[in-house]
Amino acid sequence: RKEVEQDPGPFNVPEGATVAFNCTYSNSASQSFFWYRQDCRKEPKLLMSVYSSGNEDGRFTAQLNRASQYISLLIRDSKLSDSATYLCVVNWVSGSARQLTFGSGTQLTVLP
């Protein structure tokens, strides 16, 4: 079983739609959580952190449920420029060891 699992996708949605991605993680010792965005043949870039209380950044809302080990990302009013792969990322720290573990990603295509 993968440590971080995401919706397989791909998601193809029209401009203006609302789309939600889900992610589950298996390591209960995970300490912090993030969404990264990766454009085709480009490097991943941090989109936003995910907090237990939920957090919003413009059209993007992230939620964390520690009890269920579940993370979500909601995108409202989708734009063509939102087309990318969204990577769910989990961080754990143990002594000197630190790892950001990435999910396989969910591909989003926003259609005109």
Partner 1 sequence: GAGVSQTPSNKVTEKGKYVELRCDPISGHTALYWYRQSLGQGPEFLIYFQGTGAADDSGLPNDRFFAVRPEGSVSTLKIQRTERGDSAVYLCASSSDGMNTGELFFGEGSRLTVL
* C-alpha span between 66 and 9 (Å, rounded): 24
How does strand 11-14 pair with strand 106-111? parallel
Closer to partner 1 by CB, 41 or 112: give it.
Answer: 41
Least CB distance from residue 77 to partner 1, whole Å?
25
**Using CB under 8 A, which of the segments 11-19, 42-50, 58-66, 71-79 binds partner 1?**
42-50
Q: In the window 87-106, what residues touch partner 1 (CB under 8 A)?
A: 87, 89, 91, 93, 96-105
Cα distances (Å, whole numbers) of residue 91 to 35, 101, 103: 11, 6, 12
Least CB distance from residue 22 to partner 1, whole Å?
15
b vs e for 63-72, b when ≥16 Cβ sit within 10 Å of the residue's Cβ? bbeeeebebb
Among the listed residues 22, 32, 69, 83, the single contact to partner 1 using CB under 8 A = 32
